[in-house]
Amino acid sequence: RARDGKRIPPPVVHYHMNNLTSSANPLENRETILILTPLARFYQEYWDNLLKLSYPHELITLAFIIPKNRDGNAATAELQERITKTQKTGPENERFASIIIERQDFEAPLSSQSETERHKMENQKARRAAMSKARNSLLFTTLGPSTSWVLWIDSDIIETPKTLIEDLASHDKDIIVPNCFQRFQDDKTKEDKERPYDFNSWQDSQIAKDLAANMGPDDILLEGYAEMATYRTLLAYMYKVGGDPRQEVNLDGVGGTALMVKADVHRDGAMFPPFAFYHLIETEGFAKMAKRLGKDSFGLPNYKVYHYNE
């Protein structure tokens, strides 16, 4: 308000969206990245990993959507503490352009967040519909007219190459996903090993198409369940020791553990269907919807990120 008490509205803001790039060389064009994380639990390793990302943090905005329940309150408190430290007293080059935390207004559909409970087949539809709505709400409210890329990272992704953003962008694809693995210790040999984690990145199969063709309109196909063998080709199993980390493969479904998207794909309308869309839901439905918008998805079989192991 001015001194005479009058309300002085801000001047009109103009955006020339055709000058905005999402290129193989985002740094050169000073492209802005929006990192989006639906967060039910806070992991220190996730935060540490974010801080190490080499892409200039002043070009990165972080946004979180966190459930409004007891776990969510605890996660918010932890996150807020790390943010304050980084943004106020941390090294200048670690500070992000801006950070948004949204507390979500709907309940988590499952009573327990344990890995076993989360992955039960009968829980998938409700759970992934809720996840879709959380992702959409976060996306619709934080994507701006000058965002070049959206990088989705789950809060339990605890290890990525520090050049993740530059590496993924360099492929210049509308949608691209790394291969998501999980480290674990062999029970018997006590050896450190790793195994594939995210089964939502895949190439379609005739068997899956036939299954879909015989389903009710609201039924969804799920991946990684013996009861529903789809014989899709999973990105998870395309990994080869010593394979080229730059090798690309076409995908029909993508996972959201780490998922890089040119912002225009979302702006054209691609979201995470919270309903059966061609018998797909959430991130897998997103890839299908993007396809219908003329945007293709790719995976990097030999470029890995790691999921937390409970």
Ligand X SMILES: Nc1nc2c(ncn2[C@@H]2O[C@H](COP(=O)(O)OP(=O)(O)O)[C@@H](O)[C@H]2O)c(=O)[nH]1
Residues that bind ligand X (CB under 6 A): 37-41, 65-67, 104, 108, 118, 130-131, 134, 154-156
67 is in the binding site of which of Mn ion, a second copy, ligand X, none (Cβ under 5 to 8 A by kind)?
A: ligand X
Is residue 284 near Mn ion by the rule CB under 5 A? no
Coil, strand or helix: which one is 174?
A: coil
Q: How do strand 175-185 and strand 157-159 relate by DSSP bridges?
A: unpaired
Is residue 282 near Mn ion by the rule CB under 5 A? no
Is residue 132 near a second copy by the rule CB under 8 A? yes
What part of residues 156-175 is at the interface with Mn ion (CB under 5 A)? 156
170 with 31: CB under 8 angstroms?
no
Counting residues that bind a second copy (by CB under 8 A) gives 54
How many residues are recorded in the chain? 310
30, 115, 126, 145: residue in contact with a second copy (rule CB under 8 A): 145
Dihedral (C-alpha) 211, 251, 280, 158: value to the nearest 10 degrees?
130
Taking each helix axis as running N to C, give the angle between helix 44-52 and helix 70-84, from 0 to 180 degrees, rounded to the nearest 10.
30
What part of residues 104-123 is at the interface with a second copy (CB under 8 A)? 104-105
Question: How many angstroms separate the Cα of 126 from the Cα of each of 43, 53, 280?
Answer: 25, 34, 13
CA 12 to chain centre: 33
Q: Which residues bind Mn ion (CB under 5 A)?
A: 154, 156
Provide the binding-site residues for a second copy, judged by CB under 8 A: 6-7, 9-18, 20, 58, 68, 80, 83-84, 87, 92, 95-105, 132-133, 136-137, 139-145, 147, 266-269, 271-275, 292-293
